Amino acid sequence: MNTADQAKKALTIGRLIKELKKAYPDISSSKLRFLESQDLVKPKRGLNKYRIYTGEDVKKINFILKMQKEFYLPLDVIKQKLQSKEFEDYLKEGKELKNLQLDLGEDTENKKETSFIAFDSVKKKLKLTQDFLEDLMDHDLIDYKNDNGKILINSADIDIIKMSRELSRFGIQGKHLKMFENFAIRHSSFIQQIIMPLMISSKKELHKKGKRVALKLEKELCDLHEMLLKKENRNFLEKNK
């Protein structure tokens, strides 16, 4: 495709939202910017600095939204497939996205297998002090276990450690983050109450549905929390400008 053809198919964020709303009425510019912040799409910038979405960007966004809406897949799983050659092959061969979802579903199940990393390995790899890691452990911010005197950290919590390291630059410590852990517990309990009727069923298909609903609610509630936080900060900055 030449440059002229690409320009014709390129969309501004406003035009893209208008197109997407036909299938996804709740789509918004903040949602698209969030996908960009997660490195799922990388729109180019025009001379006026506005975002420009190519045909490839639109295909990726449609895929992401479809996987979230219909199958409740988490973004990290979707991102993994978007970056794979397998996804490129599906697009080139014109296969339906629903078929790709079957593979994604298997990845989701495998992802739930718990693995642990040695305390010293995490400390060395992330260049952390022992006191820093122990502070997170003492405040129950990360999961770990003692294997014959050797401390092992749940690999699923590595991102929590990385985020805590970034926040520590602002003087934020484990004791300050504990309130977020408490909120997460209440948050999870709320979701558990909603999906409990599905999880106590003897039918496997209802168990699977419960897991999908849990992931969907997890994402939606986190998005809502982010919006409410931004609203409060916006109001504060407006009052103190």
How sure is the predictor about 129, in pLDDT bands with cuts at 50, 70 and 90?
Answer: very high
Alpha carbon distances (Å) from 147 to 119, 156, 157 = 11, 18, 18
- Distance, first Cα to last Cα, the chain: 49
| Residue 153 pLDDT exceeds 90 | yes
| Residue 5 pLDDT exceeds 50 | no
Query: From the CA atom positions of the chain, what is the Rg in Å?
Result: 21
Q: Give dist(CA 61, CA 47) in Å, integer.
A: 23
Quick one: which H or E segment has residue 38? none
Average pLDDT of span 134-143? 93
pLDDT digits (tens, 9 = 90+) for 85-119: 767 766 666 555 544 543 444 444 444 456 899 99
Whether domain 3-111 has CATH 1.10.1660.10: yes
The reported pLDDT for the residue numbered 134 is: 94
Residue type, 228: L
Phi and psi for 117 in degrees, rounded to 5? Answer: -125, 140
pLDDT digits (tens, 9 = 90+) for 212-221: 999 989 988 8
Average pLDDT of span 68-77? 70
Strand, helix or coil for residue 68: helix
The reported pLDDT for the residue numbered 167 is: 94
Q: Give dist(CA 234, CA 218) in Å, integer.
A: 24
pTM score of the predicted model: 0.52
| Residue 4 pLDDT exceeds 50 | no
The reported pLDDT for the residue numbered 176 is: 94
Phi and psi for 140 in degrees, rounded to 5? Answer: 60, 35
How sure is the predictor about 9, in pLDDT bands with cuts at 50, 70 and 90?
Answer: low
Structure token digits, residue 37: 């912040």
The reported pLDDT for the residue numbered 111 is: 45
- Fill in the DSSP letter of residue 155: G
Q: Please answer whether residues 181 and 141 qualify as being in contact, where contact means their C-beta atoms are separated by less than 8 angstroms.
A: yes
Contacts of 32 (CB under 8 A, 6+ apart): 13, 16, 17, 41, 51, 61
Please count the helices (runs of H) and the strands (runs of E) in the chain.
Answer: 12, 6
pLDDT digits (tens, 9 = 90+) for 199-214: 888 888 888 899 999 9
How sure is the predictor about 26, in pLDDT bands with cuts at 50, 70 and 90?
Answer: confident
Contacts of 12 (CB under 8 A, 6+ apart): 50, 51, 52, 53
Average pLDDT of span 14-30? 89
Domain boundaries, the chain: 3-111, 114-172, 178-241
